[in-house]
Structure 1
Amino acid sequence: MGDVTIKNSETLSKWKHELKKIQFERTSKSGSTQSQEREVYDHGNAVAALLYNKQKGTVLLTRQFRLPAYLNDGEGMLLEACAGLVENGEEPEATMKREIKEEMGYEIEQLQKIFEVYSSPGSLKELLFLFVGEYDQQQKVADGGGLKDEGEDIEVVEMPLAEVIEKASSGQIRDAKTVILILWLQQKQLV
C-alpha cells in the first residue's frame, strides 16, 4: 500500500458527527510521494439486518424518509433493511438487536453476521456490519416505528421475498446495504 503520513487534520464540523479535512502524503507503488487532501465524515460504524421468515417466504423492511435521497431525486422515501449506528462501547450485534426492537418491534435472539463492508470509503469512515436473521410473529413485542424523540417515523413493511428481489432488480429498492442483503439471501436460498 505504501506509507501514509497524516500532515494535518482540520475539523470542519462537529455539529452531530465529525467532518474533517485531512492532508496526507502517501508513497505510491512506484515509490513517488503524493500529497493529497480529502474530506472524511465520521459518524461511527453502523449495522443493518434483513429479517426473513422461511415458512411465509417473507422479509421485513422499513420505509422511511431520507433527506439526502430527497435532495438527490425528489423522492426521499426508501425501502431499507433495519439499520442504525453503533453506540460507543456497544457490540455491533447488540446494536442490531436494539435497532430491530426500536424500529420493527421484534425481539430477535439469533442473528448471523454475513459481512463487514465499507459503505462509501471515498469519504465515509463508516464500517457497516451486515446481518440476517429469522423472525416469526411470536417475536413481535412492540409496534416498532423508531424513537419519536429522535424524529424517527418508520413504517414496518412485510413483503414476499420474490417481490423484494423484483423491486431490487428493477431499481425500486435503491439502498445499497439492502440490495446487498437481498442478493445474499437470494443466493443462499434461505427463503
Structure 2
Amino acid sequence: MSRDHMTLAVSGRTPPVFYKYQEQSETMSTNCKDAGKNRVVIKSTEVLADNWGKLTRYELSYRRQNGAQQELSREVYDHGDGAAVLPYNSIRGTVILTRQWRLPPHLAGYEDGLIEVCAGLLDEDNPVAAIRREAEEEIRMSLGPVEHVGTFFMTPGSVGERLHCFIAPYEGHPNTEAIGGVESEGEEISILEFTLAETLQMIEQGAIMDAKTVILLQHLALKTLTRSGVSSVTLF
C-alpha cells in the first residue's frame, strides 16, 4: 500500500470510513506574523530564572487599536520548541499513546499520569528527527513516513514553546509490557494501544486531557470524515 493511499478506519460501529492521506508542507501566514508589527516596543528585559528553561520579564509599550499607548509587564517562560507525533495503524484502525507522570497535573490532583501522544523537545534536532528519536525512546518503535499537521502555540499567554505536530504510520504491535523513556531523566512511560474510536470516547469522558493529544486525535478523525465525503457518522 502506498503512503498516498494509506487509510484509517474511524468508527467501530458503522462501516469503516477511510481517509486518503496527502503530503502537507509547513506554512505560516505572513499576515499573522505581521499583524502586531510596530505596535510593541520592548523597553527592558530581566532574566528571573535560567535553569531547565528561562523565565524572562519584559517591560513594554503596547499601542492599542484606538492609538493609545499602554505600559505592560509580562513574564515569558521558554524551554525551546517541541514536537509531537500520533502513530496510527491503518489496517487495524489503532493508535499508540503513552501514559506518564507529570508534576503540574499531579499538583492539580491528577496523580495517575496523563495519557499523551509521543512528544519531546527538539534539542537542536529538526522536528522530524526529534519525533523519530522520541518514538524510539518512548514507545520503542520506528515510524513510517510522517505527515505534518501543524505548528501550534500551546500556552501563548506565558510560554514561548511552539509544538510541531505530526501523524505517522506504524506496523506490527507495540510491546505494551515494556516501559519507555529515559530512566536517567526520570521518565517511566507506559505504552498504550487503542482504537481511534476508543480514544474519541476517552476524550468525551475526560480520560484524555492533554491538549496536543486531543488535537491530533481529532485531526485524524475529522480528516477521515471530510476526505471521505461523509457529512455525518456516528462515532460512539
TM-score bucket (shorter structure): over 0.9
Q: Secondary structure at the match of 2:66?
A: coil
Which has the larger Rg? 2
Deviation at 1:73, TM superposition (A): 2.3
Q: Secondary structure at the match of 2:159?
A: coil
Alpha-carbon distance in structure 2 between the residues aligned to 1:53 and 1:156? 15
Match of 2:81 in 1: 45
Match of 1:185 in 2: 220
Match of 1:129 among 153, 159, 164: 164
Deviation at 1:152, TM superposition (A): 0.7
Q: Secondary structure at the match of 1:73?
A: coil
Match of 2:10 in 1: none
Contact 1:64 1:154 in 2 (8 A): yes
Deviation at 1:7, TM superposition (A): 1.0
TM-score by length of 2: 0.75
Alpha-carbon distance in structure 1 between the residues aligned to 2:120 and 2:179? 14
- Give the stretch that moved more between structures: 30-39 or 118-127: 30-39
Alpha-carbon distance in structure 2 between the residues aligned to 1:49 and 1:25? 38
Match of 1:29 in 2: 65
Match of 2:155 in 1: 120
Is structure 2 residue 185 aligned with structure 1 residue 150? Answer: yes
User: What is the 5 A alignment of 1:1-191?
Assistant: 1=36, 2-88=38-124, 90-137=125-172, 143=178, 145-189=180-224
Match of 2:26 in 1: none
Match of 2:15 in 1: none
| 1:111 to 1:96, Cα distance in 2 relative to 1, 3 A | same
Q: Secondary structure at the match of 1:168?
A: helix
Deviation at 1:176, TM superposition (A): 0.3
Q: Secondary structure at the match of 1:31?
A: coil
Ranges of 4+ aligned residues in structure 1 off by more than 4 Å: none
TM-score by length of 1: 0.93
Contact 1:68 1:76 in 2 (8 A): no
Alpha-carbon distance in structure 2 between the residues aligned to 1:9 and 1:106? 43
Write 1 or 2 for the structure with the bigger share of strand: 1
What is the RMSD computed on CA atoms of the aligned residues?
1.7
Alpha-carbon distance in structure 2 between the residues aligned to 1:166 and 1:172? 9
Q: Secondary structure at the match of 2:180?
A: coil
Alpha-carbon distance in structure 2 between the residues aligned to 1:156 and 1:186? 21
Q: Secondary structure at the match of 1:180?
A: helix
Unaligned runs of 5+ in 2: 1-35, 226-236
- The amino acid of 1:163's aligned partner reads E
